[in-house]
C-alpha cells in the first residue's frame, strides 16, 4: 500500500517525536489499481492520455481522487490532478492545488497541501515530494489538533525529510506557537518512524515546577540490539545544570538497568545548607538467570545526600521522592518443592528524623511447600545476622543480633457442599543471640476454621450470608521489645482479626487461646446495579490477660470490628471501618469514605480517619506524639459546562484545627487545548529545619523544633492535546496519598 503508507508518513513523521507511531502496511509493493473514472468530460489526445474535465472522481483499490481537471496515462502510470484536488484514504484526507504522481516509479508531488488525519490532527505544507527511492520531503509545514483556519496552537517546521532506507525522519526549524506567539524553538531532531531503535534526540522535556523552569534534552544511543544508552543534559533554572544517564542491557542470562544522575553544583542547596557539593544518585537493578533453578537479584540505590530526592524529585534525571534507598542482593535456588535463598540487605535513610535500620548480613532462608489431595506440608526457616552502625539511645537496641527462625506446619482443607473446613497445626521457634546473652522460645500452635456459605439467588439479586468461627491456640508468647528488628503490630480489620498473631515479622509471638466469630453479608442487585457488604467480627480470649497494643488493660475479648461497603447505581460508593473497644467504652479506630462519580466527570469524595492515642512507647519525639489522629479530606471536581471545570481539595487535621492542604482552581478545555489556574497551600516536612541548631535531628525534635513548614504556590498549567503535558498534572495533584 505504497501511497497509503506515504500519506500516513506525511502526517506522522512530523509528530513522531511526540505521538505514538502509526501502523503501516508491510506490503509496500502493492500498486494502486484504478477501478473507476468519472468526469463531466472525458477525451483522448492521441498520445495515450485521458483528458478529464469537470467533477473528476477516480476510485482505486486504496485511495480515491477528485479534482477539477486531470490527465491520466495508464501505460506510463502518470496521473496529474489540477484544481481543488482531494485524496482520501481510510484515515487521511489531503487537499491540494496540484498533484503529480507516477504510479509506476511511485513518485508524488503536491503543492499548497492541507492534511486532515481522522479529524483530530490537521496540517498544511507548501510542498510534498515523494521520490522514487521512497524518501519524502515536506517544505514549510504546520500541524495542529485545532482548527486549521484559526488554531490555538501549532507546530511548524522549515523542512521535514523522511529517509526510507534507515526509516529516519529529520526535522529542521521546529517552532511551537500559542496563537501566533512563538514560545519554543528546537533547531534539529532526528528520529526513527519504525519500531527499530535509532540513535538520535528523544522528546525534549519542559516542566514548570517549584525549582523554576526545568529543561531536559535526552539523546538516545542504540549501541546494539540488546543494550542501549540515553544521555540527558538538564538545566534547572534555580539550581544549575547536570546530566543523567540510563543504560539498559539484556541477554540470555542477565537483564537490568543502570541509572546515574548528577549536578555539578546546586545554587539553591548551597544557599539552604552552605554546602557547595556535587550532588548525585545512582541505581542498579539486575536479574540474572544462571540455570532453570538458580538466579540472582540486585537492587542497589545510593545518593550523595539525604535531600537529593526531596529537591530533584522524579524525571529522567532523578527518581521519585522516597524515605529510604535499598541495597539488596539475593541468590535464589528453587525447584517445585524447595526455595533456598541467600540475602544481603541494608538501607540508606533519606529522612534525618528516622532511626538507622539494621543491616542484614549474609542470611540463609529455606522454604518448602508440598501439597497432595487435601493435605499441605510447609516449612519456613531462616538464619539471619543483623548489625547496627549506631546504637539507638532512645530505645533498647544491640550492635549485633543473630536470629534463628523455624516454623513447620501441616494443614488439612476440606471443601463441603456449602462450607469449608481448615485444620492447621505447627510450631514456631525463635532464638536471638545478643552478644554474650541469648533468648529463645518454642511455641506450638493450632488453628481450626469453619466457614459456611448461605446463598439466596433469584432473578434479580444474589445474597450471601457467610458465618465464620475459628479457634486459635498458641502455647507460649515471646514479646521482648528489645529484640525488635522487623516486627510491627498490624491494624485490626475484618481480615486481620482472624489471624493467629497480631504481628508481622519474625521477632514476636503473642500467646493466644481464643475463639473468633465473624459474620459477613453480601448482596448484589443486578437490575439496579446495587452492591452491599457488611461484616462484623470479634475474638474472645479464653484466658484473660493483657494483650498487644493495650498492655495496661486486662481483657477477655478483642475490640469489636465492623466493616461496610456499598455501591448505588454505579455512581455512589461508601466504605467504612469501626473498631470499638467494649472494655474501655471507646472508639479505637474509625474510617469513612464517600464518593460520587457522576456524568461529565463530576466527582465528590469525602474521606475521614480517626485513631485513638495508643499508650505505646514512641521513640521519635514528634510534637504530636501524644495526640490522637483525626483527619478529614474533601475532593471535588465539578464541570460548569463542556469547557470549564472547577476543582478543590481540603485536608484538615481536626485535632489541631489546622489545614494540612488547601487546593482550588479552574480548568478550561476545548478540542485542542487545556489550561487552568490552581492555588495550593500545604504543610510538609522541612528537612533543613534542624541545621541551624547545635543538635542532631532527633535531639532537635526533643528540644521542640517543629520540622513542618507551610508552603503556598500558584500554578498555571496547560496541555496542548495530543502532544503531552506541560506544568502540573491535575490528576496527580488531586490524588490523595495521606489517607489513601
Residue 734, SS3 per DSSP: helix
Q: Are residues 444 and 571 in the same domain?
A: yes
Q: Are residues 204 and 246 in the same domain?
A: yes
List the Cα angle 560/564/565 in 5-degree steps. 160
Residue at a domain's end among 390, 413, 435: 390
Confidence of residue 382 (pLDDT cuts 50, 70, 90): very high
> CA 612 to CA 659: how far, in whole Å?
20
| Residue 256: all three cell numbers together | 537490568
Question: Is 60 exceeded by the pLDDT of residue 255?
Answer: yes
Q: Are residues 248 and 386 in the same domain?
A: yes
> CA 689 to CA 337: how far, in whole Å?
53
What radius of gyration do the chain's Cα atoms show? Answer: 34
How does DSSP classify residue 478? B
| Pairing mode, strands 530-547 and 560-568 | antiparallel
Q: What b/e sequence results for 119-134 when a residue is b if at least 16 CB atoms lie within 10 Å of its CB, and e otherwise?
A: eebbbbbebbbbeeeb
> CA 93 to CA 397: how far, in whole Å?
74
| Residue 160: inside a domain | yes
Q: Are residues 386 and 481 in the same domain?
A: no
| Residue 207: inside a domain | yes
> 612: burial class by Cβ within 10 Å (0-12, 13-18, 19+)?
middle
Least confident of 46-60, 364-378, 380-394, 521-535: 380-394
Residues in contact with 672: Cβ distance below 8 Å, sequence separation at least 6, in sequence order: 144, 145, 146, 151, 152, 153, 720, 721, 722
Residue 300, SS3 per DSSP: strand
- Residue corresponding to grid cell 487537499: 95
| Residue 441: inside a domain | yes
Q: Are residues 24 and 166 in the same domain?
A: yes
pLDDT attached to residue 732: 39
Q: Are residues 593 and 461 in the same domain?
A: yes
* Span 207-223, pLDDT tens digits: 666 667 777 888 889 89
| Residue 47: all three cell numbers together | 498520445
Residues of the domain holding 292 = 199-390
| Residue 281: inside a domain | yes
Question: Is 60 exceeded by the pLDDT of residue 498?
Answer: yes
Residues in contact with 555: Cβ distance below 8 Å, sequence separation at least 6, in sequence order: 541, 544, 545, 546, 547, 583
> CA 558 to CA 581: how far, in whole Å?
7
Q: Are residues 209 and 138 in the same domain?
A: no
Is-above-0.85 flag for pTM?
Answer: no
Count of beta carbons in the 10 Å neighbourhood of residue 498: 17
Q: Which element (helix H / strand E) includes 513?
A: strand 512-525
| Residue 183: inside a domain | no
Count of beta carbons in the 10 Å neighbourhood of residue 168: 21
Interval 704-724 mean pLDDT: 72
> CA 92 to CA 98: how far, in whole Å?
17
Question: Is 50 exceeded by the pLDDT of residue 725?
Answer: no
| Residue 711: inside a domain | yes
> CA 454 to CA 450: how far, in whole Å?
13
Q: Are residues 139 and 279 in the same domain?
A: no
102: nearest Cα among 66, 123, 130: 130
Q: Are residues 319 and 446 in the same domain?
A: no
Instruction: Of 145-149, 335-339, 404-408, 487-491, give the range with the top mean pLDDT.
Output: 404-408
| Residue 193: inside a domain | no
By the 8 A CB rule, do 174 and 13 touch?
A: no
> CA 286 to CA 270: how far, in whole Å?
35
Confidence of residue 552 (pLDDT cuts 50, 70, 90): low
Residue at a domain's end among 113, 139, 173: 173
* Span 309-360, pLDDT tens digits: 877 765 443 444 567 888 999 999 999 889 999 999 888 888 777 777 778 7
Interval 289-311 mean pLDDT: 90
> CA 148 to CA 671: how far, in whole Å?
12
Residue at a domain's end among 550, 576, 597: 597
Residue 336, SS3 per DSSP: coil
pLDDT attached to residue 15: 39
Q: Are residues 533 and 497 in the same domain?
A: yes
> CA 574 to CA 597: how far, in whole Å?
12
By the 8 A CB rule, do 529 and 550 touch?
A: no
Confidence of residue 22 (pLDDT cuts 50, 70, 90): very low
Question: Is 80 exceeded by the pLDDT of residue 573?
Answer: yes
Instruction: Output the 3-class SS for 53-98.
Output: EEEEEEEECCCEEEEEEEEEECCCCEEEEEEEEEEECCCEEEEEEE
3-state helix, strand, coil in the chain (%, to 5): 5, 60, 35
Question: Is 50 exceeded by the pLDDT of residue 529?
Answer: yes
pLDDT attached to residue 2: 38
Measure the N-to-C terminal CA separation of the chain; round to a whole number of Å.
Answer: 51
Number of domains in the chain: 4
| Residue 272: inside a domain | yes
Torsion angle in degrees (nearest 10) through CA of 520, 525, 526, 532: -50
Q: Are residues 655 and 538 in the same domain?
A: no
Count of beta carbons in the 10 Å neighbourhood of residue 712: 9
Q: Are residues 556 and 675 in the same domain?
A: no
Phi, psi values for residue 483, rounded to 5°: -95, 0
The pLDDT mean for the chain works out to 81
* Span 426-470, pLDDT tens digits: 999 999 888 788 888 888 999 999 999 999 988 888 999 999 999
HSE, CB side, 13 Å, CA atoms: give it for residue 374.
10
pLDDT attached to residue 187: 81
Sign of CA dihedral 136, 139, 142, 148: negative
Amino acid at each position: 500500500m505504497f501511497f497509503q503508507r506515504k500519506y500516513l508518513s506525511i502526517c506522522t513523521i512530523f509528530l513522531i517525536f511526540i505521538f505514538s507511531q502509526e501502523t503501516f502496511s508491510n506490503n509496500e509493493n502493492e500498486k494502486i489499481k484504478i477501478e473507476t473514472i468519472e468526469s463531466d468530460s472525458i477525451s483522448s489526445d492521441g498520445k495515450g492520455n485521458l483528458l478529464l474535465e469537470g467533477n473528476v472522481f477516480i476510485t482505486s483499490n486504496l485511495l480515491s481522487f477528485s479534482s477539477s481537471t486531470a490527465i491520466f496515462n495508464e501505460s506510463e502510470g502518470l496521473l496529474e490532478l489540477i484544481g481543488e484536488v482531494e485524496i482520501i484514504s481510510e484515515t487521511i484526507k489531503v487537499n491540494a492545488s496540484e498533484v503529480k504522481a507516477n504510479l509506476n516509479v511511485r513518485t508524488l508531488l503536491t503543492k499548497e497541501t492541507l492534511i486532515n488525519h481522522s479529524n483530530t490532527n490537521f496540517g498544511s505544507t507548501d510542498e510534498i515530494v515523494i521520490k522514487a527511492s521512497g524518501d519524502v520531503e515536506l517544505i514549510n509545514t504546520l500541524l495542529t489538533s485545532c482548527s486549521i483556519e484559526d488554531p490555538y496552537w501549532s507546530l511548524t517546521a522549515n523542512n521535514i525529510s523522511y529517509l526510507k532506507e534507515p526509516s529516519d525522519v529529520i526535522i529542521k526549524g521546529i517552532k511551537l506557537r500559542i496563537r501566533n506567539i512563538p514560545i519554543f524553538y528546537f533547531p534539529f531532531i532526528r528520529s526513527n518512524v519504525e519500531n527499530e531503535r535509532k540513535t538520535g534526540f528523544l522528546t525534549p522535556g519542559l516542566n514548570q515546577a517549584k525549582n523554576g523552569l526545568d529543561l531536559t534534552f535526552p539523546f538516545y544511543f542504540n549501541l546494539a540490539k540488546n543494550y542501549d544508552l540515553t544521555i540527558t543534559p538538564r538545566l534547572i533554572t534555580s539550581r544549575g545544570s547536570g546530566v543523567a544517564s540510563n543504560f539498559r542491557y539484556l541477554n540470555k542470562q542477565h537483564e537490568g538497568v543502570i541509572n546515574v544522575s548528577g549536578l555539578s553544583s546546586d545554587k539553591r542547596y548551597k544557599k539552604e545548607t552552605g554546602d557547595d557539593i556535587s550532588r548525585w544518585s545512582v541505581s542498579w537493578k539486575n536479574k540474572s538467570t544462571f540455570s532453570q533453578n538458580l538466579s540472582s537479584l540486585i537492587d542497589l540505590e545510593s545518593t550523595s545526600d539525604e535531600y537529593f530526592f526531596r529537591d530533584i524529585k522524579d524525571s529522567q534525571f532523578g527518581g521519585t521522592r522516597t524515605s529510604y534507598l535499598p541495597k539488596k542482593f539475593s541468590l535464589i535456588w528453587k525447584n517445585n518443592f524447595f526455595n533456598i535463598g541467600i540475602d544481603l540487605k541494608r538501607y540508606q535513610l533519606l529522612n534525618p528524623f528516622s532511626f538507622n535500620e539494621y543491616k542484614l548480613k549474609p542470611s540463609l532462608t529455606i522454604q518448602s511447600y508440598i501439597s497432595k489431595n487435601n493435605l499441605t506440608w510447609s516449612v519456613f526457616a531462616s538464619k539471619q545476622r543483623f548489625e547496627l552502625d549506631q546504637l539507638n539511645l532512645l530505645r533498647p537496641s544491640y550492635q549485633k543480633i543473630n536470629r534463628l527462625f523455624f516454623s513447620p506446619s501441616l494443614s488439612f482443607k476440606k471443601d463441603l457442599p456449602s462450607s469449608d473446613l481448615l485444620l492447621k497445626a505447627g510450631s514456631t521457634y525463635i532464638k536471638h543471640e545478643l552478644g554474650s546473652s541469648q533468648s529463645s522460645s518454642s511455641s506450638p500452635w493450632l488453628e481450626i476454621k469453619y466457614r459456611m456459605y448461605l446463598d439466596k439467588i433469584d432473578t434479580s439479586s444474589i445474597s450471601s450470608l457467610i458465618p465464620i468461627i475459628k479457634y486459635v491456640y498458641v502455647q507460649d508468647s515471646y514479646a521482648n521489645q528489645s529484640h525488635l528488628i522487623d516486627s510491627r503490630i498490624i491494624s485490626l480489620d475484618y481480615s486481620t482479626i482472624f489471624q493467629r498473631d497480631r504481628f508481622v515479622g519474625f521477632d514476636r509471638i503473642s500467646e493466644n487461646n481464643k475463639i473468633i466469630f465473624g459474620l459477613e453479608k453480601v448482596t448484589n442487585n443486578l437490575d439496579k446495579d446495587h452492591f452491599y457488604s457488611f461484616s462484623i467480627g470479634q475474638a474472645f480470649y479464653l484466658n484473660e490477660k493483657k494483650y498487644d497494643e493495650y498492655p495496661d488493660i486486662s481483657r477477655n475479648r478483642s475490640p469489636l470490628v465492623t466493616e461496610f461497603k456499598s455501591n448505588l447505581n454505579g455512581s455512589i460508593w461508601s466504605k467504612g471501618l469501626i473498631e470499638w473497644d467494649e472494655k474501655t467504652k471507646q472508639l479505637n479506630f474509625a474510617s469513612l469514605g464517600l464518593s460520587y462519580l457522576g456524568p461529565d466527570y463530576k466527582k465528590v469524595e469525602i474521606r475521614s480517619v480517626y485513631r485513638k492515642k495508643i499508650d505505646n512507647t514512641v521513640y521519635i519525639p514528634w510534637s504530636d506524639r501524644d495526640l490522637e489522629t483525626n483527619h478529614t479530606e474533601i475532593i471535588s471536581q465539578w464541570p460548569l459546562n463542556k469547557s470549564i471545570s472547577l476543582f478543590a481539595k481540603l485536608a484538615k487535621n481536626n485535632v489541631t484545627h489546622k489545614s494540612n492542604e488547601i487546593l482550588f482552581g479552574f480548568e478550561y478545555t476545548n478540542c485542542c487545548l487545556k489550561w487552568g489556574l490552581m492555588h495550593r497551600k500545604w504543610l510538609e516536612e522541612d528537612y533543613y529545619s534542624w541545621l541551624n541548631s547545635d543538635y542532631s535531628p532527633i535531639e532537635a525534635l526533643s528540644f521542640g523544633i517543629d520540622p513542618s513548614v507551610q508552603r503556598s504556590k500558584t500554578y498555571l498549567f496547560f496541555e496542548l492535546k495530543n502532544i503531552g503535558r506541560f506544568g502540573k498534572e491535575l490528576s496527580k495533584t488531586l490524588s490523595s496519598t495521606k489517607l489513601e
